[in-house]
Amino acid sequence: MDLLHATAELASRVDRLRPGVLDGPPPYPSIARRVAAEPVQDPVALVGTAGRLRAEVAAAGLPDGRRRHLDALLVALRCRARLLAGEDVGYVEQVRDLFGVLPRRSEPDELYEAHRRLAAVLPGRGPLAARMRDHRAADVVPVERLAGAVTAVVAELRRRTHDMLGLPDGERADVDLVGARPWTAFTRYRGGLRSRISVATTGRERAGSLLPLLAHEVYPGHHLQYCRAEVASERYPELALRLVHSPQGLVAEGAAEAAVAVVPGPGWGAVAERVLAGAGVHLDGPAAERIERELDLLGRVRLDAALMRHVDGAGPDAVLAHLARWLLVDDDRARRMLDFLDHPQWRTYPVTYAEGGPLVRARLATAPEGPAAALATLLDTPVLPSDLVTDGGAAHGPERGGPAPAPVGVLRPPRLG
């Protein structure tokens, strides 16, 4: 068995102990069937298997990019197995081993500045939290118009993605409205260039965030990532094995976060305004784009809250207050966020948004070939966070190498609204 198949076998064994390790269908069905038929393995033994495979990868004389990619997957799998074995693995160590980065906290001045800019663009007067609450309420898409709005936006994004990046022949994304859920949207890849994207009809979906959300989940976000990785795996077989909690996953989440910056790109608010008007939904597009930009910057507060909770030992009340203050959300929404941060499966995941997004955006902004071509490279080649760390102002490409974990100041669960 070659090292990639051995790593996939290990991933299937870990996934059997704790489902949710694999991102999408198993890449090698015969391995998955064999693992499903064997006795469940002791996680302590799987820790040892990961260590042995790392040594074999290091000695195998593989091309540097493939060696680093496989090693990163094995480090992440070893961490998952250690947790399943009951080891006490600290939060920062988990983030480092799972995602290949070290988490950094927000600078208070950055948060104050984001609030100041929001105050300048939000309508009304009075406390910022109240104005944000009123804006969110006024921006909600009526449930009876949500299906038409989603269909129109996805069609526009698909057309633009086809023109700017290209789409694999036969790809298909089915978008469903699914009723009340604790999340806003969720992409499930079925293999064979097919995905199903579920959008919750909870009365919370806002017109201003609808296009960025669907760019994140569908075109040119997660659905396109899965499809192009499947096609590119003929050249880069390691792309066939995708783990939710991995450095590869952080880059994928970062690319989805940055998707709207490429398709439609700057000025997307005007595009959203025009498309939604055709679906009977009003939007001030330029204002929405400014507001969403600041809310994106504030999004890393979720990582701050996770660090408060799992590194500083802060109690739930302090974390809830921090989330409500800086994200300008009500108590109910803050509690849903805290539930996510406390979930054993997802508590480290906020780093994918907080660090993955900035890493990818910086790469796209500085790429000499332009953001569309740079995004295509991220979709079609094995890229680790350390590949995206700038060195004297130039971004690393997938063959440049670099330290792991990435020293960035220190990228799939449902996307929370």
Q: What is the pLDDT along the chain (417 residues), one digit of tens a residue?
A: 699 999 999 999 999 999 999 999 999 999 999 999 999 999 999 999 999 999 999 999 999 999 999 999 999 999 999 999 999 999 999 999 999 999 999 999 999 999 999 999 999 999 999 999 999 999 999 999 999 999 999 999 999 999 999 999 999 999 999 987 777 899 999 999 999 999 988 768 999 999 999 999 999 999 999 999 999 999 999 999 999 999 999 999 999 999 999 999 999 999 999 999 999 999 999 999 999 999 999 999 999 999 999 999 999 999 999 999 999 999 999 999 999 999 999 999 999 999 999 999 999 999 999 999 999 999 999 999 999 985 433 334 433 333 344 444 333 444 444
Hey, which residues does 172 pair with through a beta bridge? 194
Rounded distance between C-alpha atoms, residue 15 and residue 241, angstroms: 13
Encode 373-384: b = buried (16+ Cβ within 10 Å), e = exposed.
ebbbebbbbbbb
The single-letter code of the amino acid at 340 is F
Q: For tokens 């409500």, name the residue.
A: 324
In this structure, what is the dihedral angle of CA atoms 98, 198, 16, 94, given to the nearest 10 degrees? 20
- Cα–Cα distance list, 211 to 149, 242, 263 (Å): 9, 26, 10
Helices 285-298 and 108-121, interaxial angle, to 10°?
160
Side-chain half-sphere CA neighbours of 323 within 13 A: 27
Cβ atoms of 73 and 239 closer than 8 Å: no
Domain ranges of the chain: 3-89, 108-342
Nearest to 224 by CA among 265, 269, 165, 177: 165
The single-letter code of the amino acid at 285 is G
- DSSP per-residue string spanning 273-305: HHHHHHTT----HHHHHHHHHHHHHHTTHHHHH
Q: For tokens 């992409």, name the residue.
A: 187
CB atoms closer than 10 angstroms to residue 296: 19
Nearest to 272 by CA among 220, 219, 215, 208: 208
Encode 199-217: b = buried (16+ Cβ within 10 Å), e = exposed.
bbbbeebbbbbbbbbbbbb
Give the dihedral sign, CA 75/79/81/82. Answer: positive
Question: Which helix or strand (DSSP H or E) is residue 390 part of?
Answer: strand 390-391
Cβ atoms of 92 and 103 closer than 8 Å: yes
Nearest to 158 by CA among 87, 202, 112, 217: 217
Measured in degrees and rounded to the nearest 5, phi and psi for residue 327 equal -90, -5
Q: How far does Cα 318 stand from its chain's mean position?
A: 26
Measured in degrees and rounded to the nearest 5, phi and psi for residue 29 equal -55, -35
Rounded distance between C-alpha atoms, residue 369 and residue 346, angstroms: 35
Determine the pLDDT at residue 1: 63
Give the angle subtended at the CA of 322 by the CAs of 316 and 328, to the nearest 5°: 125
- Full-model pTM: 0.92
Determine the pLDDT at residue 336: 92
The single-letter code of the amino acid at 266 is P
Report cis status (omega within 30 of 0) of the bond before 27: no
Report cis status (omega within 30 of 0) of the bond before 264: yes
Rounded distance between C-alpha atoms, residue 159 and residue 306, angstroms: 38
The single-letter code of the amino acid at 103 is P
Q: For tokens 């060696």, name the residue.
A: 67
Determine the pLDDT at residue 49: 98
Determine the pLDDT at residue 358: 95
